[in-house]
Structures are given as C-alpha cells and as structure tokens.
Structure 1
Amino acid sequence: MTIRRIEAGPRMSQAVVHGNTVYLAGQVGTPGKSVAEQTTEVLASIDRLLALAGTDKSKLLTAQIWLDDMRDFAEMNGVWDAWVDKANTPARATGGAPLATSGHRVEIIVSAAI
C-alpha cells in the first residue's frame, strides 16, 4: 500500500494519506489572534488539506483539539459548531495544555476517510 505525503517538510508532513485514510498534522492559526480567529484559520487549513487529499469534513473520523487555556472552550466551540458537518460529526476529544509556540491558543488534529 502506498503512502502519499502532502506538503512534506524536513520535520513533518502536513498530511499523510495511507490507504483510505488521511492523517493531518496539528494545525494552528496566527499567534496573537483571538481563539475564535485562530480556530477559523485552523478549520480553513483543515478544509484545504482535506481537499488536497481528496476528501472533506463530512468524512472526518477523529478530532483532537488542544487549547492553551480551557477557559477558551466555549469560544472555540462556537466556531467549531458553525463549521462541523452536523450529520457527520467525528469522535472528538478536547484537552488543555501549553502549546509549542507562544501565542498559539488552539491546535486541531484530525483524521478522515477518503
């Protein structure tokens, strides 16, 4: 079975397709913006990468969401709820942890069927 890497770099690929599944790297927005703005950017990046892999958000399998501060949960969910395909919601987990780069407030990792 082949493996296709999308936007591969020296440290990681933004997406990897194996079989009928695509795995996305954690997507982040622009540091310093609000959680809602960063979430909007992240979801647009996810849409773009899923399209490059030949799929879309209606085929999401899992989502892992990391927030720098869990007090931002409702703000992030407001954007997520407007974006997610209500008929095809993924298995999802949300946790709080310091993110790798200062100023990033949300990071989202998804996998999807193709």
Structure 2
Amino acid sequence: MIEIKLRQEDGTEKTVVQDFISARMFRRTVEMQKLFKQQEDGKTTISESSLDTIVDYIVELFGSKFDRDQFYDGVAANQVIPTMTRCIQAVVGHANEAIGADTDPN
C-alpha cells in the first residue's frame, strides 16, 4: 500500500491511498527511475519536464484521485523529491518482495 498526503486549499490534509499496483505501473516506474540524473558529486538532479512527467506518473499511480496542480500545491517544496522517490521505491519494493530480491530492476 502506498499513501500520499496533500495539503488542500483550506489548510486541511488529504491522504490518498493506493493498494493495487498494476504491472503496467511497475513498468512505468522503471521508466521514471531513469529520469533522475545522478551527478558526479552524488547529488540527484531532475529537469523541469522530467519533474512534470514524474508528477503525472504519480497522479496515474494513485488512480487520478488528484491532479498535477493539486500535487504541486499540496506538497511542500522540500518534500517534492522525497515524495517522488518514496512512491517509486514503494512500487519497486513491492516487486522485489514478490521475487525475494533487494536489487534495483535497472
């Protein structure tokens, strides 16, 4: 199960849960992992277009229970990348549990 918490316009927090990860979403997750660029100094960078692509993936992952704008407006700036990586890792983790592996599918 994966969950995401989004702050709404009225200041309340909305929790969205996804308890089913399809094989198609697993495939898309592998694609999303490749959008993160590892720099020589070990830091991760991401382009603006890749950021939008990953947010759209997260919206789809959660069954479109929120949209891109609600994600951008509801996630704190310092939590954008951690939220993205947590969602991606949760999907990969489910697959790894199923096969009994700890490895990155890439």
Q: Same fold (TM over 0.5)?
A: no
Question: Greater strand share, 1 or 2?
Answer: 1
Normalising to structure 1: TM-score of the pair? 0.30
